[in-house]
Amino acid sequence: MSDATSSKTDGLPTQEKRNFIQTLEVDTRLLGMIGAFIVVCLVFNVLTDGRFLTARNIFNLSIQTVSVAIMATGMVFIIVTRHIDLAVGALLATCSAAMAMTQTAILPEVFGLELGHPLIPWIAMLVGVAVGTAIGAFQGYLVGYLMIPAFIVTLGGLLIWRNVAWYMTSGQTIGPLDPTFMTLGGINGTLGATMSWIVGLLAVAAACWGLWSARRNKISHNAPVKPVWAEYTVMGVVSVAILGFVAILNSYQIPAARLRRQFAAAGEEMPEGFTAVYGIPFSVLLLIAVAVAMTIIAKKTRFGRYIFATGGNPDAAELSGVNTRMLTVKVFALMGALCAISAIVASARLTNHSNDIGTLDELRVIAAAVIGGTALAGGIGTIYGAILGALIMQSLQSGMAMVGVDAPLQNMVVGTVLVAAVLIDIIYRKRIGAK
């Protein structure tokens, strides 16, 4: 009889386990990525004399990661369906230019809405999302219905949309943008201490509810479940991670000079000894919302099932009745919409639209998805993996910048990490397949 025998918890069947990690049912590849991220942080913290893991740098790292991470969630679907999108950075620039011109020229000059009008930021964002979705759908049509390889379509798009953005703005930097619009960039829009704790506690409650609901769903289908202690362990780790992140962001105080300017702008005098913290940025909340929505699409919808089925075996999916051509259009349209959302965050963080916005983002986005475990052969990928991949990428670049590494060498390191990640993924999948 094997040592790893099946057991029962509360009268329910549990899966046969061999060790602690398997009992928790945690993805070993995810653990490896988390371990790599921790190593990167610790190494750079030593090299920067403790400056890397300060609240200020973690805050900056979080808002710098958002734009690429949002697009990486869409790139997962693109790669899972065995395509590629090299135009995401250029499309981001086009969407940014469209929103900037809408705010500063079209709405004020054509419709008489002055900068600061409450409708301006929302109209601009709708325009940006509409532009991104339309361009993405057009590229998807070329790939899905005209059968032009996605590599060629999006390589052409990289050249076309970058220069469309240039012509839209006549090559000029457009700004300043609407104040409400800029709150989605990071430091100009945060929740503060109290609301951050409230959001953190709600996130903990939602995570625990989701884990327990998944357990009850397995029970209802008479499927094996983890022991109760394992469920509580996972909930505890997730809760500590969420509340720890909130605590770090809430420890980053707003500089006194900035507070004085804010009070002065409101016509008030700052009280003696007054302090305040930034808390969770609105852009991070936007990333969380996108991540949750994309995860639900991937796991809970017919559209998501079709995406992974098509990526696993396109011929079988088509024979099963999946309209793979229209599916391609939808996936690229979704990618375009996410590029527009990333453009909102990127331009709001810069407080203007510049010609070089989104440059090389296509490489960072693809790298984030691949490092996060998305298989280039298609059929396999996770949203949380892509976000963690984006965080690792940004941590590498931020750490190297703090150490003083030149930009060319930074790109060389990122390229090396990308190739190494693909090699590790190939080895990992071979070992899993052998078992």
Mean per-residue pLDDT of the chain = 88
- Say how far apart CA 38 and CA 34 lie, in whole Å: 6
Contacts 24+ apart (CB under 8 A), 119-126: 120/178, 120/180, 120/181, 121/178, 121/180, 121/181, 124/99, 124/100, 124/178, 124/181, 125/99, 125/181, 125/340, 125/344
Q: What residues are paired with 13 via a beta bridge?
A: 8
- Digit-coded pLDDT (tens) for 106-149: 998 888 887 778 899 999 999 999 999 999 999 999 999 999 99
- Say how far apart CA 237 and CA 242 lie, in whole Å: 9
What average pLDDT does range 322-347 have in this prediction? Answer: 96
- Say how far apart CA 166 and CA 340 lie, in whole Å: 16
- Digit-coded pLDDT (tens) for 374-419: 888 888 889 999 999 999 989 998 999 998 888 888 888 888 887 8
Q: What residues are paired with 281 via a beta bridge?
A: 190
Cis amide prior to 176 (ω within 30 degrees)? yes
What average pLDDT does range 265-290 have in this prediction? Answer: 88
Q: What is the DSSP string of 259-307?
A: HHHHHHHTT--PPTT---B--SBHHHHHHHHHHHHHHHHHHHSHHHHHH
DSSP H helix total and E strand total for the chain: 17, 2
Which tokens in the block code for residue 182?
Answer: 């800029």
Could you tell me the pTM of the whole model?
0.90
Q: Tell me which residue of 23, 415, 402, 18 sits closest to 224, measured CA to CA.
A: 23
Alpha helices in 172-251 (DSSP H): 179-182, 192-220, 228-250
- Say how far apart CA 184 and CA 188 lie, in whole Å: 7
CA 242 to chain centroid: 16
- pLDDT score at 408: 83
**Identity of the highest mean pLDDT range in 27-31, 115-119, 163-167:** 163-167
Contacts 24+ apart (CB under 8 A), 217-220: 219/12
What average pLDDT does range 49-71 have in this prediction? Answer: 93
Q: Which residue shows structure tokens 């300017």?
A: 261
Which domains are delineated in the chain?
22-189+298-434 (1.10.3470), 190-280 (no CATH)
Number of Cβ within 10 Å of residue 29's Cβ equals 17
- Digit-coded pLDDT (tens) for 195-226: 999 999 999 999 999 888 888 888 888 888 88
- pLDDT score at 36: 85
- Digit-coded pLDDT (tens) for 64-74: 999 999 999 99
**Which is more confident, 425 or 185?**
185
What average pLDDT does range 333-350 have in this prediction? Answer: 96
